[in-house]
Chains A and B, each alone.
Chain A
Amino acid sequence: MATVTFDHVWKRFGDVVAVNDLSLDIQDEEFLVLVGPSGCGKTTSLRMIAGLEEITEGTLKIGERVVNDVPPKDRDVAMVFQSYALYPHMTVYDNLAFGLKLRKVPKAEIDRRVREAAKTIELSDLLTRKPRQLSGGQRQRVALGRAIVREPAVFLMDEPLSNLDAKLRVQTRAEIARLHQRLKTTIVYVTHDQVEAMTMGTRIAVMNFGLLQQVGTPQRLYEHPVNKFVAGFIGSPSMNFVQVTTGREGDRAVLHDEAFTVPLPDRFREAVGPTTGRSLTLGFRPEHLAIGPVGDNAATVRTNVDVVEFLGNEELLHLRAGHHDLVAVVDARHRVRPGDVLDLGIPFDKVHLFDDETGDSLAEVKAVSAA
């Protein structure tokens, strides 16, 4: 068990900056998820921990040891690859035992640990099979077992669920989470799937274009995204964004556009300032839009229903409000139909406001500067 520390780490491939000045502390026994779109630098960061990519600049520590120049075999990490990377010519038993044999662990101990790991991941009956004789889910479990059996200081997982079907993915997600609770080992998990990130991570680190955008608990990222990218990336369906302009309506400050007018929530007043005509982006999550009468703490927006996707207990509504496309998630009991005109409430305490130029959250800017 160990901590992992990135201290101003850079990774360049020629002129391309894959990881840009990454500083990140991963705590002991933590389940940290690196999430972001393709090419954001998350896998490169993971591979730097494994020792499969050299660090261009900065310092990487596992525990108290600087590992910049330590080869993968001496880092005491185990990795689960996206493709599983099982050794096709070896049986499941040999796949699990390979790392231990290389470390010259006594045969009896290897046997004990392999059988114990096989039991943990329910592979005891498959130990004599070759990888080609296994299903995708079973191969995935062998890859996990190969990591478990090593009892490493840090587990690294590179999109291990991406080749599984939806049902198996949900099941394995829970298994990995259970495994973490039982083994209490530091896990660094890479995914581009924000649902995986939200459901599994103790903390989530969101990356984009090689830059770390925000690190925090799933709740923190969901409720207080620091910028428009994080706000749009975390949460499913994605947050609605509407470009608005600051203005005044009588003596109150408002955010308006051709389709609707929303009073400026008090908590943004200081950050927005007294200027009118400032262009901002208003964000609100689909699940926070409400049908029906709203109180004083919500603004109303009139929408036309375009498409309704029935999800069982909920309905996903694709709406038009002026020239904006919005998405709302409402209770299925409303039985909304395409063509309906709906007045939807946007609760003031759920809206987010982003600077149009930088994309930074105004509320978070204030919170950070206050901190």
Chain B
Amino acid sequence: MRRRVRRLQGFAFTAPALVLMTVFLVAPMLFTIRLSLDTGRGFQLREFIGLDNFVRLLTRDRLFLDLSDFPPSGAVFNNLLWIFLYVGLCVGLGLLIAVLADRVRYESIVKSIVFLPQAISATAVGVIWLLIYAPNARVGLLNAGLGAVGVDPVSWIGSRDTVNYAIIVAAVWAGTGLAVVVFSAAIKSIPTDIIEAARVDGAGPFQTFRHITLPLISLPVSVITITLIIGVIKVFDIVYIMSRGGPNGASRVIAYSFFEETFQAGKVGYGAAVAVLMVLLIVPIVALNIRRFRAGETVR
């Protein structure tokens, strides 16, 4: 009897959360999956077309994935570029700044400056960097700099060759602060004795970083890496503000494709297929993140 009451109590406590999750997460997700198997015009289930949307997306939509040329292009490839460059730079620079700042007296000032862009919305970051990249040398800081050394202005956002890199640099500027703060806190949590023991054992600064600091902050490094990857797969706002996926779809990313197909072209079923693919990409990474967290708990 008592066990039954306890079970009911447990259910009662979790019920509100379960209801909210079901209504706002599970049901929309299931509906999206169903939509992805339909033409879905006007957000209605009109005609079941099986996996047609997925087949088209992965084989015939050159703006989504184009493997016919080298290097490949399309939204999926752009997202891969984001993962390697944005995540790599955020983590690499984050580590570098955190380690170097740890050794100076004005560490808090350095960290504050690097962290400041975190407080700015992606829209504002986009606008700031659009001004920096402006082709007109009287407006664009970068082109003004190039002009000063006799180089012609470059259309950073208007060129297929540079647009992705230009947007990624802006995002790195905005995103590195978080990595710096997290890594810096992790470095501070390493007992000084351990670092000193390594120094007495014969380790120089680089060896101490390589053999002691890095392994001891591997958990926050991997968690930040995975969090950034998840963020990158979903990236939309800064691309929308800076390039609208252009020129000619050159800077499209998966989330931008979803937006374009669903809300601009009205192909809701097709857009839903993009969303489902995005979820399928993110789920294993989230699972990996949770596993890493649990592993960290065990170590403690």
Complex-state Cα separation, A150 to B196, whole angstroms: 16
Q: Which of B193, B207, B215, B216 contacts A85 (CB 8 A)?
A: B193
**B101 at interface by CB-CB < 8 Å:** no
Q: Provide the A62-89 mask, 1 if CB < 8 A to any CB of B, else 0.
A: 0000000001110101110111011111
Q: B203 and A50: CB pair below 8 A?
A: no
B198 at the interface (CB under 8 A from A): yes
Is A164 an interface residue when CB atoms closer than 8 A count as contact? no
CB distance from A303 to the nearest CB of B (A): 48
Is B204 interfacial (CB 8 A cutoff)?
yes
Interface flag for A52 (CB, 8 Å): yes
Q: Identify which of residues 294-324 in chain A touch chain B, using a CB-to-CB cut-off of 8 Å.
A: none
Q: Assess whether A256 is interfacial by the CB under 8 Å rule.
A: no
Is B285's beta carbon under 8 Å from chain A? no
Q: Is residue A103 contacting chain B, with contact meaning CB distance below 8 A?
A: yes
Residue in contact with A102 in the complex, picked from B191, B201, B218, B299, CB distance below 8 Å: B201
0/1 per residue, B170-213, Cβ < 8 Å to A? 00000000000000000000010110111111111001000110
- Contact yes or no, B199 A81, CB < 8 A: no
Partner of A89, one of B199, B203, B207, B215: B215
Decide yes or no whether A229 CB sits under 8 A from chain B: no
State the majority secondary structure of interface residues on B.
helix
The listed residue (B191, B196, B299) touching A52 by CB distance below 8 A is B196
**A222 CB-CB contact with B under 8 Å:** no
Distance in angstroms between the alpha carbons of A86 and B212 in the assembled complex: 11
Q: How large is the interface on B (under 10, 10 to 19, 20 to 34, 35 or more residues)?
A: 10 to 19
What A residues does B212 contact at CB under 8 A?
87
Interface residue from B191, B193, B200, B299 paired with A73 (Cβ < 8 Å): B200
Task: Say whether A72 contacts B200, CB under 8 Å.
Answer: yes
B194 touches A87 (CB 8 A): yes
- Could you tell me if B201 and A99 are in contact, using CB atoms closer than 8 angstroms? yes
| A81 B193 Cβ-Cβ under 8 A | yes
Q: Which residues of A are found within 8 Å of B204, using beta-carbon distances?
A: 71, 73
| Interface pair B196/A88, CB less than 8 Å apart | no
A79 to B197, CA, bound (A): 7
The answer, yes or no, to whether A115 is at the interface (CB within 8 Å) is no
Q: For A42, list chain B residues within 8 Å (CB).
A: none
**C-alpha spacing A150/B198, complex, angstroms:** 13
Q: With CB as the reference atom, state the residue of chain A lying closest to B201.
A: A99
Whole-angstrom distance between the Cβ of A150 and the nearest chain B Cβ: 7
Contact B201 A52 (CB under 8 A): no
Question: Shortest beta-carbon distance, A51 to chain B, in Å?
Answer: 8
Which residue from chain B places its CB closest to the CB of A104 in the assembled complex?
Answer: B202
User: Are A102 and B194 within 8 A (Cβ)?
Assistant: no
Q: Is the CB of A102 within 8 A of B216?
A: no
User: With the chains together, A77 CA to B200 CA distance in Å?
Assistant: 7
The answer to whether A81 touches B211 (Cβ under 8 A) is: no
Residues of A close to B197: CB separation below 8 A: 79, 81, 85-87, 146
Report the minimum CB–CB distance from B300 to chain A (whole Å). 9
Q: Is the CB of B202 within 8 A of A79?
A: no
Flag whether A209 is at the interface (Cβ < 8 A): no
Instruction: Contact check, A102 vs B200: say whether CB atoms are below 8 A apart.
Output: no
A89 contacts B201, CB within 8 Å? no
Closest to A103 in B: B202
Say yes or no: is A348 at the interface (Cβ < 8 Å to chain B).
no
Complex Cα–Cα for A305 and B211 (A): 62
For the complex formed, measure the closest distance between the CB of A187 and the CB atoms of chain B, giving whole angstroms.
15
Chain B residues lying within 8 Å of A86, measured Cβ to Cβ, are 194, 197
Closest chain A residue to B190, Cβ basis? A88
Task: For the complex, give the distance between the alpha carbons of A82 and B216 in Å.
Answer: 20
User: Judging by beta carbons under 8 Å apart, are A78 and B200 in contact?
Assistant: yes
Instruction: Tell me whether A85 and B202 are in contact (CB under 8 A).
Output: no
Chain A 92-122, CB within 8 Å of chain B: the 1/0 string? 0000001100110000000000000000000
Determine the distance from Cα of A77 to Cα of B299 in the docked complex, in whole angstroms.
31
Cβ-defined partner of B191 (8 Å) among A71, A72, A78, A85: A85
A249→B202 CA distance, assembly (Å): 68
Within A7-50, the residues touching B (CB, 8 Å) are 50
> What CA separation (Å) do A86 and B211 show in the bound complex?
13
What residues on B are CB-neighbors of A146 within 8 Å? 197, 201
State whether A52 and B202 are in contact (beta carbons under 8 Å apart), knowing that A83-B191, A102-B207 are contacts in the complex. no
Smallest beta-carbon distance A190→chain B, Å = 14
Min CB distance A145 to B, Å, is 12
Min CB–CB distance A183 → chain B (angstroms):
18
For B299, the closest partner residue in chain A by CB is A132
B219 → chain A, closest Cβ, in Å? 10
Alpha-carbon distance between A146 and B196 when the two chains are bound, in angstroms: 14
B201–A150 CB distance below 8 A: yes
Q: Are A98 and B201 in contact (CB under 8 A)?
A: yes
The answer for the CA separation of A52 and B192 in the assembled complex, in Å, is 11
Q: Could you tell me the distance in whole angstroms from the C-beta of A185 to the nearest C-beta in chain B?
A: 15
Taking a contact as CB atoms under 8 Å apart, the answer to whether B200 and A50 are in contact is yes
Instruction: Verify B194–A85 contact, CB threshold 8 A.
Output: yes
Q: B220: shortest Cβ distance to chain A, in Å? A: 14
Contact of A83 among B193, B199, B201, B216 (CB under 8 A): B193
- In the bound complex, residues from chain A placing their C-beta under 8 Å from that of B201 are 73, 78, 98-99, 102, 146, 150
Could you list which residues of chain B lie within 8 angstroms of chain A, going by C-beta atoms?
A: 191, 193-194, 196-204, 207, 211-212, 215-216, 218, 299
Closest 7 pairs between A and B when the two form their complex, measured CB to CB: A85-B193, A99-B201, A85-B197, A102-B202, A73-B202, A89-B215, A72-B199
- Name 6 A/B residue pairs within 8 A (Cβ), A-sorted: A52-B200, A72-B196, A81-B196, A89-B218, A99-B201, A132-B299
16 additional contacts (CB under 8 A) given A51-B200, A71-B204, A102-B201: A50-B196, A72-B196, A75-B200, A78-B200, A79-B200, A85-B191, A85-B196, A86-B194, A86-B197, A87-B198, A87-B212, A88-B194, A89-B215, A89-B216, A98-B211, A102-B207
